[in-house]
Chains A and B, each alone.
Chain A
Amino acid sequence: MKRILFPACLLIVLLTGCAPPAVGGPPPLVETGIDPESWARIPAGEFLQGQHDHETRVDYDYEIMVTDVTNAQYARYLNEALAQGAIHLTSEGVVGPYPGDEFRGYQHEEPVKAGDYLHIPLDDPGLRLSWDGETFAALPGYQNHPMVLVTWFGARAYCQFYGWRLPTEVEWEKAARGTDNRAYPWGDEIARNQANYYSSHDLFEKIVGGQGDTTPVGFYNGQTYNGYQTLDGASPYGLYDMAGNVWQWTGDVVEGAHYRYMRGGSKANYEYNLRVWTRNNAAPWFFSPNVGFRCARDAGD
């Protein structure tokens, strides 16, 4: 008996450390004071791109959303787009048309043909929208959280519906980094109360447990919420959530690959994934509770 006492105690101590995810009601609606309808203007000019600081020039001014598209914004869009017939519902979820890509037959390249593609699934428990048969609405408490479980097609369709587009990778990175060689949108150091990443112990992680949850867009702006002091995580151009919370789809279609690229890192990643040059990618029909998007447009649109 004595022989197994110590290993048994050790096992109990370790296993009791892995509690199941806390189950609670909806999170409180937290107002951050950052307007998801606002845009930031990025001036033309050079910036240092990538981990190795390649001088890159963007020849035009452009604008990009200050925050990720929220659940409330996407629900509004779905209702408008459904009414206009731009998208429709199937047993899979919301689908819409895509004109297709040129297929070059590279190794591992998958054809993306013209046709209808899934924009969002309706049966995933991670979806923060409700559908009552007529209208989409954001779930209570999640209205100003980033829209997730949206495919690249769904993200692109949102932006196009309003006459905008997804940012290119270069546009995204310049907006996140500014013109110096910082690693994160605010500088070279990262603190747990500056962005939503894996095990950053934010307020919402404590509410839902484990892998955590999205935080409201613009949450990390230096405000204090119920005693939780955040640091300002804005980029040099005033964009929020360019590091952490959710990955963001970008618009590039890369020759020889069907993958679409994402930037910014998410609540499910360690902090090194939040560096401004880190890339992620997936097939355009991929969706995840850790992937969202924001739009860009030409200056003056």
Chain B
Amino acid sequence: MLARFNYLFRSTKGLVLVAIALIALVTAIWGTLSGPMVEWGVRDVTVRALGMQLHPAEREGRIIMLYHTIAMAVVAIEVYLITHLVPMKPHEPGIINGTITFGYISSMVFGLAFAYFGHHFVFHGLFLFGQSLVFFAGLLLAVALWPWREAYHIRDPRYAHAGRIDLERTAFFVMAVATLGSALFGAVTGSYWGNGHETFLAEDLIREPHKTPLQLAIIGHLHIMLTLIAVALALIIGRWFDYQGPLHKLSMPLMIAGTVIITLGVWSVVPFEPFAHTIIYVGSVLILLAALFLVIYGFRKIIHDRLAEQGIQQASFWQGLGALLHDPLRFGSLWQMVYMNFTVSGVGIFMAVKLDEIFRVWPAREERIALTGHWHILSGIIATIILLYYADMAGLKGRIRQWFGWLVIIGSDIAFGAVTVFEMKRLFVSESAQQPLVNWTMALADLGLALVLTVLAVLMVWRLLDLFKRQGRWQVEFEETALPDVGSEMADRLPPAREVAS
């Protein structure tokens, strides 16, 4: 029992598994409270079975707490991966991961308890306490990522550097600091709740000509937090691919500058709203360029590695394409970033360009659908990239790897594509004639999401059953990624950093 506990809470792979499992559980239960599940009557069953209390006036507050609990777990997964991939003092991963684990689980359990099962204010206090721990873990992470420590100076010129400073590490550091500041941006505003600040969903205020500074701050907070989660993930995926070379040297300065500019742009939305969007656009372009270079590098690397495995010197186009697609987990993690441009960035830019001409002619509730679909897709894409990476970490091989990878990619892309068409349906059909299109897009979205959730459920059940084995995969993973005890012999060793090793 203790060995399994150690695996789940004291190894990177175990911690990631716990967080994914908890998110899957929350998604499975709370996903029944909206959309087609309401139409099919499943919500009523869930509410009755679990004794949920859903007062209509508290819907927005409940949703905000639900988003926060899931976001905390996603942030925790990224922190686990960063402490695993980025060199730091050996005792630091254990402290950071322990703090954030206690924090996100507290905020998840007590946040959901407060929001859905009665308003005991002890629950609310513990929800905030959990979030505070997550913030504190972020502070520790920023300290651990400090790029100017001599031990972390770059020694391999293939990686982006400025002098001896590792620019990739700097990008992680900047992202962490920007995230901490942006969390405060929301937290300070939240502290005015009941004292001049009222609960709202950003999509409900889109057309208000006069927004209060507190409303602007919250709108900025939610946008920048999701952006920074995406930035962190792009950096993590770069590490997975051992991103290096000329494109790496272009990407990292762009990522650093983009992160700084977009963060300052969002923070400036309160005092300088008319200019903030221009600053944000500049930062977005830099980050998107950095991610584009990562995708180009990654695709090339996948092809190169596969062709080398096959011993092919001069590959045809089809051999190259076959090599690119042979591993859906690695291909998918980058492809989803490309697909995001069709379903999120592209749609967002189109909306911005045609806002007054098209979208602001529609009723606000139609525009609201486009906005909520937009960021649900972005969150979903982030989730699928994490899943694909985790599946690789979990050692999926052979046909299972193929099935899992392709079902996640195809299922999610069908769903996200269908939702994008649904969001934009007024471009193609009038309200009076929309029903067939609505039926088809909703059916495809449900089908795609069902595929993804089914393979996720299978993966989770497999990992659960594995825990009951005496010599299961969990034991191998524990040995691979166990965190050193603070003060142990292992903790005194130098980090197994690529910089130091090379």
Contact with B along A11-52 (1 / 0, CB 8 A): 100110111110000000000000000000000000000011
* B98-106, B233-241, B359-367 - interface stretch: B359-367
Question: Is the beta-carbon distance between B59 and A280 smaller than 8 angstroms?
Answer: no
Q: Determine whether B272 belongs to the interface, using a CB cutoff of 8 Å to chain A.
A: no
Q: Give the distance to chain A from B37, nearest Cβ to Cβ, in Å.
A: 11
Question: Is the beta-carbon distance between B362 and A188 smaller than 8 angstroms?
Answer: no
Q: Determine whether A168 belongs to the interface, using a CB cutoff of 8 Å to chain B.
A: no
- How many chain B residues sit at the interface, stated as a range, is 35 or more
Question: Is the beta-carbon distance between A21 and B435 smaller than 8 angstroms?
Answer: yes
Question: Is the beta-carbon distance between A210 and B435 smaller than 8 angstroms?
Answer: yes
Tell which of A181, A211, A257, A289 touches B438, judged by Cβ atoms closer than 8 Å.
A211
Question: Is the beta-carbon distance between A124 and B361 smaller than 8 angstroms?
Answer: no
Tell which of A109, A124, A183, A256 touches B432, judged by Cβ atoms closer than 8 Å.
A124
Q: Determine whether B57 belongs to the interface, using a CB cutoff of 8 Å to chain A.
A: yes
Question: Is the beta-carbon distance between B355 and A108 smaller than 8 angstroms?
Answer: yes
Question: Is the beta-carbon distance between A14 and B447 smaller than 8 angstroms?
Answer: yes
Interface of A is mostly: loop
Contacts of B362 in A (CB 8 A): 282, 286
Q: Determine whether A161 belongs to the interface, using a CB cutoff of 8 Å to chain B.
A: no
Contact with B along A259-281 (1 / 0, CB 8 A): 10010000011111101000111
Q: Determine whether A255 belongs to the interface, using a CB cutoff of 8 Å to chain B.
A: yes
Q: Determine whether B198 belongs to the interface, using a CB cutoff of 8 Å to chain A.
A: yes
Tell which of A184, A209, A273, A283 touches B360, judged by Cβ atoms closer than 8 Å.
A283
Contacts of A270 in B (CB 8 A): 34, 38
Contacts of A11 in B (CB 8 A): 447
Contacts of A107 in B (CB 8 A): 209, 274
Tell which of A14, A51, A255 touches B209, judged by Cβ atoms closer than 8 Å.
A255
Question: Is the beta-carbon distance between A210 and B431 smaller than 8 angstroms?
Answer: no
Q: Quick one: given A108-B360, A109-B209, A211-B435, are A183 and B56 in contact (CB under 8 Å)?
A: yes
Q: Determine whether B489 belongs to the interface, using a CB cutoff of 8 Å to chain A.
A: no
Q: Determine whether A125 belongs to the interface, using a CB cutoff of 8 Å to chain B.
A: yes
- Which of chain B's residues 301-346 have a Cβ closer than 8 Å to chain A? none
Question: Is the beta-carbon distance between A286 and B363 smaller than 8 angstroms?
Answer: yes
Tell which of A110, A190, A272, A290 touches B431, judged by Cβ atoms closer than 8 Å.
A290
Tell which of B38, B57, B432, B435 touches A51, judged by Cβ atoms closer than 8 Å.
B57
Which 5 A-B pairs rank lowest in CB-CB distance, beginning with the nearest?
Answer: A126-B432, A183-B56, A256-B209, A18-B439, A210-B435
23 pairs, A vs B, C-beta closer than 8 Å: A14-B446, A51-B198, A52-B198, A108-B209, A109-B209, A125-B432, A125-B433, A183-B55, A188-B57, A210-B438, A247-B363, A254-B209, A256-B210, A257-B209, A269-B365, A271-B38, A280-B363, A282-B361, A282-B364, A286-B363, A288-B431, A289-B432, A290-B431
